[in-house]
């Protein structure tokens, strides 16, 4: 199982088959930022890590989504 699957299950508290709720999605994004930037010593805070994750291309994906 890769890191994304582990973080998804940890955020979802069940399995890969269930969709995430809004707060679980935010938790998942924070977990990804933590894995990518905090554990590797690139950032020291979660705020820095999430901002860097959003600036690294993830923000463009969100921009392409329609506004509900």
Decide if 34 contacts 50 (C-beta within 8 A): no
Instruction: Report residue 7 CA to chain centroid gap.
Output: 8
The pLDDT of residue 41: 94
**Nearest-CA neighbor of 30 among 9, 7, 14, 12?**
7
Considering the entire predicted model, what is its pTM? 0.64
Chain segment 23-64, per-residue pLDDT in tens = 888 888 898 899 889 999 999 999 999 999 888 877 677 777
Taking alpha carbons only, the member of 16, 51, 58 closest to residue 37 is 51
pLDDT at 1 > cutoff 70:
no
Query: Which domain covers residue 37, as residue numbers?
Result: 3-64
Number of domains in the chain: 1
Residues in the chain: 68
């Amino acid at each position: 199982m890769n890191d994304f699957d582990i973080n998804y299950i940890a955020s979802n508290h069940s399995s890969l088959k269930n969709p995430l709720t809004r707060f679980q999605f935010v938790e998942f994004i924070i977990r990804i930022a933590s894995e990518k930037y905090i554990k590797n010593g690139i950032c020291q805070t979660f705020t820095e890590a999430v901002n860097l994750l959003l600036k690294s291309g993830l923000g463009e994906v969100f921009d392409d989504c329609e506004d509900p």
